[in-house]
C-alpha cells in the first residue's frame, strides 16, 4: 500500500499584506516573529492530534508524546515547526521514557498512522535486512490516522493563528523600536 507524504506546508503567501511587511524587516527580526507565530499555529495542531490519537489502554504514550519543536533558520529568515510524536533514538529516548516527568518517546506512531502488516516468523533483524527467513504476512492492521485528520481539521485555525501571530509580532517589534527611538511613530 503506497504511502503519501505527510509533510504539509503553510506559507504566508496567502497573506500578501503581511508578507510584504515581513520582507521589509531585518532577517533576525523576521525570524523571531515567524518563530512565535509558527509555534502558536503548531500548538493548535498538537491539540487536535492529541484528540485524534486514541489513548492506549496500557500507557497512553502515543498521545502523550505528541508535541512540537520550532526551528529557526536566521540565514534565510525562516521558522519551521516540526509537529508529531517524539521518536528520538538512543539515550535521550531512554531518559524521556524513564518516568522523569518528560514526554515518552514512541517508535510505533507511523504504524498506527498508516497501518501495517502482521508478520509472524523470522527475527526482527531478518525483517529489517529483508533476507532469508523474514517471516510472512498474516494480515493487515488498518490505519488509525491521527496527524492527517488533525491537520485537515485545524488547517484554517492554524492559518488564522499564523496571521494573527505575525501581525502581533510586527506590532510588538514596532513598539519596541519606537521605545528605543529607532522608529518614528
pLDDT for 13-24, tens place per residue? 456 777 777 888
Residues 31, 25, 15, 166: is their CA dihedral positive or negative? positive
Q: How far apart are CA 155 and CA 168, in angstroms?
A: 20
Read off φ and ψ for residue 144, nearest 5 degrees: -125, 75
Share of the chain above pLDDT 90, in %: 27
- pLDDT tens-digit series, residues 101-160: 555 668 888 888 999 888 887 665 554 555 555 677 788 989 889 999 999 999 999 999
DSSP state, 133? S
Give 142's contacts (C-beta < 8 A, 6+ positions apart): 115
Q: Look at 34 and 128; give whichever has higher pLDDT.
A: 34
Long-range contacts of range 71-74, CB-CB < 8 Å, 24 or more positions apart? 72/31, 72/32, 72/35, 73/31, 74/27, 74/28, 74/31
Confidence of residue 88 (pLDDT cuts 50, 70, 90): low
Mention every residue, 6+ apart, whose C-beta is less than 8 A from residue 141.
111, 115, 116, 117, 118
pLDDT tens figures, 160-178: 999 899 989 988 988 888 8
pLDDT at 149: 94
User: Rounded to whole angstroms, how far apart are CA atoms 71 and 125?
Assistant: 34
C-alpha cell at 46: 498538537
Q: What pLDDT was estimated at residue 108?
A: 87
Amino acid at each position: 500500500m503506497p504511502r503519501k507524504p505527510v509533510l504539509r506546508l503553510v506559507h504566508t503567501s496567502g497573506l500578501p499584506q503581511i508578507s510584504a511587511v515581513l520582507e521589509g524587516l531585518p532577517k533576525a527580526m523576521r525570524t523571531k516573529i515567524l518563530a512565535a507565530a509558527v509555534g502558536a499555529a503548531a500548538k493548535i495542531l498538537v491539540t487536535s492530534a492529541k484528540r485524534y490519537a486514541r489513548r492506549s489502554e496500557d500507557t497512553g504514550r502515543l498521545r502523550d508524546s505528541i508535541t512540537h519543536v520550532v526551528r529557526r533558520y536566521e540565514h534565510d529568515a525562516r521558522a519551521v515547526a516540526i509537529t508529531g510524536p517524539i521518536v528520538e533514538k538512543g539515550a535521550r529516548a531512554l531518559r524521556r521514557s524513564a518516568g522523569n516527568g518528560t514526554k515518552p518517546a514512541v517508535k510505533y506512531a507511523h504504524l498506527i498512522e498508516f497501518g501495517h502488516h502482521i508478520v509472524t516468523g523470522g527475527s526482527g533483524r531478518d525483517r529489517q535486512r529483508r533476507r532469508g527467513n523474514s517471516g510472512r504476512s498474516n494480515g493487515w492492521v488498518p490505519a488509525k490516522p491521527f496527524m492527517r485528520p488533525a491537520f485537515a481539521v485545524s488547517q484554517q485555525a492554524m492559518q488564522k493563528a499564523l496571521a494573527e501571530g505575525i501581525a502581533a509580532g510586527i506590532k510588538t517589534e514596532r513598539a519596541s523600536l519606537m521605545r528605543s527611538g529607532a522608529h518614528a511613530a
